[in-house]
Structure 1
Amino acid sequence: MSVRQLSRLLAGPLLTTLVLCVATSARGAEPPPSKTADASSTGWRGWLRECVACKADQARYGIQIDKAWQSASEELPVVVLVHGFNSTPQRAEPLLASCRAAGLPCAVFAYPNDQALAPSAELLSTSLKAFGRKCPGRRVALVTHSMGGLVARECIENDELNPANVDRLVMVAAPTHGSVLAHCALGLDLWEHWVTRDSGSPWQRTRDSIVDGLSEAPADLCPGSDFLTRLNARPRRAGVRYTLVLGSRAWVSEDQLRSARKSLSHAAWFCSMTEHDVEGCLAQVDEVFSGRGDGAVALSRARLEGVTDTVVLPFGHMTVVNDAEDQASREVQEIILNRVQVADEA
């Protein structure tokens, strides 16, 4: 059974679970502290991470540039890929396929994929500033997937972090105004380090999940979080050309929505929900409906004020990096190549 077939089979139950989760979150007396304050302020998580992290962990984070990149013309930008939530540079690297084939110098930025976004942006800033000192005047183009777009924007739009060598930002599937799926992100570390991983002792897996972050990123990704409110209040960085590439192929069709409504009508009593409540919750989860989102990010929450270069294509949030045979994914790669090759005219 393919991943797409499996997602279709599970679409109804998953949608029901998501709506109940959103409803429960909305009905809470007060949002959890991690949703009302910057995730970076959750001190005990940082303390625990410092207790178990070692120099080898820190060494794997930062910018890693392809071999022989210096043989490329200095007129070409260095294309730096920033991966997303609970991901790695290797999983997102297909986005660089066309750039590498065209001979552009490429690099990847690795960072703890579940920690708060502010320290991740600080790490990106430090890495880009170090590159700028080593290669003064060299242009940098940032290509991001998902949450990586928020990390990149915090880096270049925050005056204290701006490295001043980025002149192009291409964001693929960026959750500009958050995603309701962030409310359901707890447990993804279990998937990353215990289900899909086939090596490492129980201690090693536990330690790695702590070093990567303890569900701090989802707090920042929730719509209305302090991090997103502050980030989206800033203007776009002058001298940087922005591109948004958004997906519209989610995993719930209209037929599956009708089926899910029936399931929800039976499950609604669990949260003391009325039919009106159910419809209200469904209206909040555009992320998962085909034509309205990519399965994780809603089109309505992805657009960014001031960015006119916005392209919508029929790809899913993960198929854009996982499915090399997908036509829309190949189009995304070509769009990235086209945008980063154009010199800044601002």
Structure 2
Amino acid sequence: TDPRGSLSARDNVEWSEEQEATAKSKVQENSSQLLPQDKQEEYEVNAKRYWDDFYKIHENGFFKDRHWLFTEFPELAPNRNPSQNEDSLCEFSCKEVSKNEGLGSCENGHCTLENRAENQLNLLKSSPRFCTEELAPQKLKQSYEDYPGSSASYRILEVGCGAGNTVFPILQTNNDPGLFVYCCDFSTTAVDLVQSNVEYDSSRCFAFVHDLCNDQSPFPMPDESLDIVILIFVLSAILPEKMQCVINKLSRLLKPGGMILLRDYGRYDLAQLRFKKGQCLSANFYVRGDGTRVYFFTQDELDDLFTRAGLQKIQNLVDRRLQVNRGKQMTMYRVWIQCKYQKPAGPQL
């Protein structure tokens, strides 16, 4: 769930000690009763179905395009020198057209679930090996002679793309001919929504289904090929004990100097305080009424996840906002965390 709505807002709101104590008290109360273990396992096993149902119900009407993206994350609209891209433009366009013509099972960039699965299987077969969490760093890396976006000079991946509310603003705003955007989601329904959007351009974008928590689920691009990985209200939906493996996996995809951009729920956000008893799975991890799950982070927790993956902090801040709904005469305190972590440019030890 992405916070949205026509509300007036005030940024960087400081909390009083009393306000923070009240928030802590509410969290203690709503987490005093945990769901039984068998129920927790059921939500984990059926996570994909719950997100598919979510997008079938809301389609692309639930979220709004995130116009704050380029203010907060200017890395998504890099000011590149056009002369650097002129030479590569023809090569990039021709190679992508040739590649897409070879995908006879897809029309206009839209692949059925069966065809998409077959294409990903072929990618897997053509790769010597896919790294898993158990493989030592010195093992062979993923290697492809050709892959979607292989000719691009700037590659962005959004994980948990939903209906495309980040991908399409990037494609509309950034006309860099060397740009290629990948986007993936756990939900087949979400990826179908992206691929069926009239603005989906398979020469600049590749949408695919991916389970971040499954080491056998391949990415269509090799390690150290991405400039940017975007995580917007996505990491919070993952089982907490699987988060480190996920960040490690995404870190390997970054080029040296590449960056992960994250925006997610912060501890004591209004959404956390509104949960009732019986919806808590574990500390600061809850299940919503529709079966989807959400975690509420602290800055230190995220810093630990990223630094353990070998990334260096560029930004890690709490965004506290007071939103006022004048119509309902309600004040709402939102707490989000925004991070930028970079892969060191030098050799890895």
- Please tell me the TM-score bracket, short chain as reference: 0.3 to 0.5
Normalising by the residue count of structure 1, what TM-score does the alignment of the two structures yield?
0.37
Bigger share in helix: 1
